[in-house]
Amino acid sequence: MAKKMAIIASKGTLDMAYPPFILASTAAALGYEVQIFFTFYGLQLLRKDLSSVMISPLANPAMPMPVPMPVFVQMLPGMESVATMMMKQKLKKHGVASLQELRDLCIEADVKLIACQMTVDLFEFDKSEFINGVEWGGAAMFMGFAGETDVCLFV
């Protein structure tokens, strides 16, 4: 019987988008049955267009920057775009797969991607905004799987 891994993805920023997809694709490659439950802001990671997935330098003290930036600089308009561009360049420079590539890899590896129906309803999203192959379900549906897993992570 294959091991099982459940991941809850609750954040939709670029820096928080990588962990669930990297962990899920790695586990799937190792033969795990994997499900990711996307809730609240994590739903951004299931949208067809990932260009709105950004990173914020504000209140992110662990973010490595070439030089320390004062908080007032981090608050300036456009700094989120600058930080996102810098992070994407760093990822590319070091040969890290793009977010799109990682998500596609998860789909190819049969990782089940579950969108939280309550959150979809709460934020009045249209299901047409999301990629094909997403399953729609609630916490109870996901808990049925998560309760039987070998590894369960909240990201």
Quick: pLDDT tens for 29-79: 999 999 999 999 999 999 999 988 988 766 565 666 554 555 545 566 667
CB atoms within 10 A of CB 153: 17
For residue range 112-147, list pLDDT tens digits in order: 999 999 999 999 999 999 999 999 999 999 999 999
Query: What sign does the CA torsion over 7, 50, 130, 122 have?
Result: positive
Q: What angle do CA 84, 65, 24 make, to 5 degrees?
A: 55
Phi, psi of 78 (to 5 degrees): 95, -10
What would be the CATH architecture of the domain defined by 4-53+98-154? 3-Layer(aba) Sandwich (3.40)
CB-side exposure of 75: number of CA atoms within 13 Å?
A: 3
> Tell me, what's the pLDDT at 148?
96
Put simply, whether the predicted model's pTM sits higher than 0.85 gets the answer: yes
Tokens matching residue 15: 């820096």
CB atoms within 10 A of CB 137: 18
